[in-house]
Structures are given as C-alpha cells and as structure tokens.
Amino acid sequence: MSPELLLLLLLLAAESTAPLPDVNTGLEFVVAFPENIAYYYPDRPKMVIQITALYDETKITIKQHSFGTICKTQDKGASQDYILHAKMEIYKEETSDITLQIHSDKSITVHAINQKSSSLQTALVLPTDKLSLAYFIPPVPEIQRTTRPAEIVTTDVTERSPFKLVIVNGNKPNEVKVEGSGNETFSLQPFQIQQIWVKAEMELRKVTANHPVAVLFGHTCAIYHSCTCGQLFTSLPPAQSEVQKYYIPEFLAKYAENKSVVLLSKENSTKVQAFDMNSPLVEFDGSAIFYRPGLLISLIPETDFASCYVVSTINDTMSYAVIVVRKNLTDGVRVRDLPVQKTLWQELNGTDFRSASVTLLPGKSAIWHTSSKMAVYFVGNKENAWFGNPAPILSHIPDFRGCVLSPEIVKIGPNAGGWRESLQNCSEDQLDLVSFPDAQLQTQIYEQLRQANKNNLQEVWIGMRRSSMSGEWYWLSDAKVNHSNWEEGEPGTMNDGQCAIMSLAKGFGWRDEDCCKAAHPVCYKEPVFFPVE
C-alpha cells in the first residue's frame, strides 16, 4: 500500500468515528429577496427556490409571507424548482417582514435564484440552526458609474445608490448591532429583515447579534458592462479570526482578470486586493470575497473543503461547477458518476492545487470525491452576466463508493462469545456481523479497525462462514466471495472450522475456526448514499 493511500485511509478512519461536521442541510430556512434592478422596472421579478431532498417522502412547506403557502413532498435525490409570488421582492424599506420561510420534516438543501430581465443572482441558503452571531463587513469594490466617483452615489437612482446590508433574522426575537464609526443597534422580530446602506463615511466593520442571523451584502443594480447594470449580492460568511487559505480558480475571473479583486475584512480593518492569476492563494485572518463585474462570491477556505456537494442548473443559462482540489487527487473527483476529464484541470500557480470548470448537464449533479476533500462553486452565465455561490455541502466524509449522507459504522463488539452469539450481539445494536467482499472496502475497514482496537485484541469474528451443505464459504450479506485474505494454509477442509475469524495482529489474515471459540465481533452498518446518477 502506498504511503499516500495509507494516509488518506487513516484520515478517513478518523473522520468516520467523529461527529459529522457542519453541512448545508437542515429542516428550517428563512430567505430574503433583495430589490433587483429597481422596483419600478417594467419586467416582473422571477424568484425561484431550488430544493433538493436527501431522503424519501420529505414533506416541505414554503410560506410566502402573506402571499400563499406551498406544500409538497419530494423523494430522495429529487431537486425541484418553486416559483414564488412576485411580491416577495423587498424594496427600500429599512425594516420588512417579507421573508420566505421553509420547513421540512427531513434534511434538504435550499438554493435561491433572483431574476429580473437579464439580471440574475443566486445564493446558497443556510438553515437557521447554522447561521452565525457575527459577520465582518467587506469593503465596497470600486465600480465605475456605480461607486466612483463617490459624489454620484445617491439613494434616489438605483444604479448609483450605495451598497447595502440585508440582515435576515432567524426564528427568535433579536438584538442586532452594526459596528462602525457610529454603532447602531436595532430589534428584530422572528423572520424580519433590516436593510442598511453601506456608505464610505460610516466605516462599517461588523454585524453582531444575540441570536443567529444571515447577512447579505451587495447592490441593487451595479454596473457590470457598458451602461448595463444588474443585481450584485452575496451571503457573507461567518466571522472568524484564524488565518485561512483561499485558493482562487482562474475561471472566476474569466475575461475580467484586470478588473477582479478580493475583498478582505477582519475585526478592525478591510482592504481590497487585486487578483493575479499567478498568485491564486490568499492567506488572511478574516473573510475573503471575490469580486469581478457582475459576480460577488464568498471564497471557500481550505478548512471548509468537503467531500460531496450538490448543484442544480438554471434554465436558459450556462451552468458550471468550478472545482479546486489537490493536484495529486484529481483522479478521485466525480461529477455524477463520471471522472473529470484530465484536459480540464489547470494548475493554480505556486500551490499544490488544481482547478477545473465543468459544464453541467441539465438538472441535478452530485459532485464528490472518492478519498479526499475539495471546494466546489456553482457559477452561471446569462447574456454575458455572471453569477454564482459556493455549492451546497452534503458531506465531509469521502468514500470510494459514492456521496455519503450517513457514514458507515465499524465497531468492535464489547463482549466475547461464539460466532452465533456475536451475530446476536451485533443485531441487538441494529448492526450486522461485518461482510466486506470488496478488496477496497476491506482495506478501508482494516484501517478503521487499527484505530478502534484500543484493547489490543488479537482476533475477531467476521460475517463469513462455511455452508454445511456444499462446504463453500459465503458472506452473511449474500455478496459473492470475490476477494479473500486467508492466511497461508487456510482455509482447511470441511472437517476443520466452519466460521471465519480474523487476526488483528497478523495483517488482518483470515482462518477457519471452531464456531464456539470466544472472540469479539466486528459489527458493521453500511453507509447511506445520496444518488449520484
């Protein structure tokens, strides 16, 4: 076994026994749709929620303020678009209760799409229990005829108005503070919104709250090409103060490298850093947001890389998945059930990473890694206007078989007994005596057993035994015995042992044994996977 593979399997083993890290799935969400272009623009807004269900018979309720309620049921892996009432668009009111509330009885992901004419923006919506208490406010990018020169900024003309914050409250009464040259505190009722202009003289630095909130940052109609303006918004990432590594794929700056910048913000300062494709790594002890004309997108720090994401395309647009992964692990990336073409990978100069942009087929795509973690962005283009967001995370646990929703369980039973008693002991914990017919699965389980064998046990029962009729060996799972790891001279004849025992001290070799011998069992539960096809 190569050292690289062993390291990956050890990391996998450690993750499999740890609590699941945060993912972007949940049961309750609140969504706001900021004003797009201008409230008086003649085209009606088109606001859409894309919901992906992780489990069968998921019951979903979508409450559109006072404009109606949608109740639907979705099955595992199904992604569905819900078109919302046009009055869900919020205008210039400082405080509003026009929010969308989503409830489900099983985990889902939510993606918001806000469109008016050719102006289109998207956002990953986090569940209310995964929102944050604090956010750093980024600096405003310089945009010709929108924010520069400063004297043309006005609240009366939408394309020349200031940037703004949209603070979306969760499900509890809340006190929210916006810190800057003059601190401002206000109260919000459950599911209310507060909009705040971001003017240069205010020097806004941070949003804090007593209870979790979401914060959007952007502009109603920022100029992105010639005299054309469109909505420009992103969801701010939670504030953090540790140094993070952000790897920026060249695709985000496509056709606009010399106009692309990174907006950096931390506790007491902000700065705007020009993007250089020869230096795609940004290390910073705060939040990082990428800007290029028409696109404002929160960057994914390396500490938040994950193993499985899901993205859904948008009708009448070009949709892409932009992937960042270590250069020696590109072979493990899958889009649906297919590897990414080698010709698509581009080096991120001066780093150990590569990136690729994959054109997505219509519908839903699971993007996953067989052995490691990566970053995935959803990026789209409509009539030369760009939009995008970090893709929804389903899992941080890599598995060579697919996209893990619930990890496998590998457990050494606490009681020693015969093979039949071991089978019963596993069953009492709603587990099975382990069957692992596949060579790759055997290697994966062996590494987890190295971690689990705290008492230095010498041998354990596995879920294989000999047929009393034919003498053939079989797995309890009914899988074929395609790959085995018998010790030299094993197994013996039908007159020898009828059950398979495995050594934990001699390379995990197997031998036949008297089924009444006392040994601990290896109990197992298969993982639950998200459909990848």
Q: What is the 3-state secondary structure (H, E, C) of 439-466?
A: HHHHHHHHHHHHHHCCCCCCEEEEEEEE
397, two tokens: 């646990």
- Whole-angstrom distance, CA of residue 80 vs CA of residue 222: 30
Residues 111-125 pLDDT 10s: 999 999 989 999 999
pLDDT at 207: 97
Residue 4: pLDDT over 90: no
Residue 491: pLDDT over 90: yes
pLDDT at 397: 93
- Count Cα atoms within 13 angstroms, Cβ side, for 449: 28
pLDDT at 409: 94
Residue 152: pLDDT over 60: no
SS (H, E, C) 241-275: CCCEEEECCHHHHCCCHHHCEEEEECCCCEEEEEC
Residue 380: pLDDT over 90: yes
- Whole-angstrom distance, CA of residue 408 vs CA of residue 451: 15
pLDDT at 2: 40
**Cα-Cα end-to-end distance for the chain:** 30
- Whole-angstrom distance, CA of residue 139 vs CA of residue 284: 15
Question: Highest mean pLDDT: which of 35-49, 55-69, 139-153?
Answer: 55-69
> Please, which residues bridge with residue 67 across strands?
none
φ, ψ of residue 69 in degrees (nearest 5): -125, 140
Domains recognised in the chain with CATH numbers: 407-530 (3.10.100.10)
Q: Average the pLDDT over each of 48-57, 229-238, 283-292, 449-458 and give the range with the smallest value.
A: 449-458
CA gyration radius, the chain: 27
pLDDT class of 12 with cuts at 50, 70, 90: very low
Residue 5: pLDDT over 60: no
Residues 264-311 pLDDT 10s: 999 989 999 999 999 999 999 999 999 999 999 999 999 999 999 999
Mean pLDDT of 238-265: 94
The rounded mean pLDDT for the chain is 91
Q: How far is CA 386 from the centre of its chain?
A: 21
What is the helix (H) or strand (E) element at residue 125, kind and residue range? strand 119-125
Residue 525: pLDDT over 80: yes
Residues 462-481 pLDDT 10s: 999 999 888 899 999 999 89
Residues 308-340 pLDDT 10s: 999 999 998 999 999 999 999 999 999 999 999
Residue 49: pLDDT over 90: yes
Please give the torsion angle defined by the CA atoms of residues 284, 287, 290 and 296, in that order, rounded to the nearest 10 degrees.
180
pLDDT class of 390 with cuts at 50, 70, 90: very high
Q: Average the pLDDT over each of 7-21, 158-172, 411-425 and give the range with the smallest value.
A: 7-21
Q: How far is CA 150 from the centre of its chain?
A: 38
pLDDT at 512: 95
Residue 350: pLDDT over 50: yes
pLDDT at 432: 96
pLDDT at 225: 83
Residue 493: pLDDT over 50: yes
Contact 150, 192 (CB under 8 A): no
> By percentage, how much of the chain surpasses pLDDT 70?
94
Question: 495: phi > 0 → left, psi -120 to 50 → alpha, else beta; which?
Answer: alpha
Residues 17-26 pLDDT 10s: 333 347 999 9
pLDDT class of 157 with cuts at 50, 70, 90: low
- Whole-angstrom distance, CA of residue 515 vs CA of residue 13: 29
Residues 84-100 pLDDT 10s: 999 999 988 899 999 99
- Whole-angstrom distance, CA of residue 451 vs CA of residue 57: 37
More confident residue, 280 or 507: 280
pLDDT at 373: 97
pLDDT at 17: 30
pLDDT at 154: 65
Residue 450: pLDDT over 80: yes
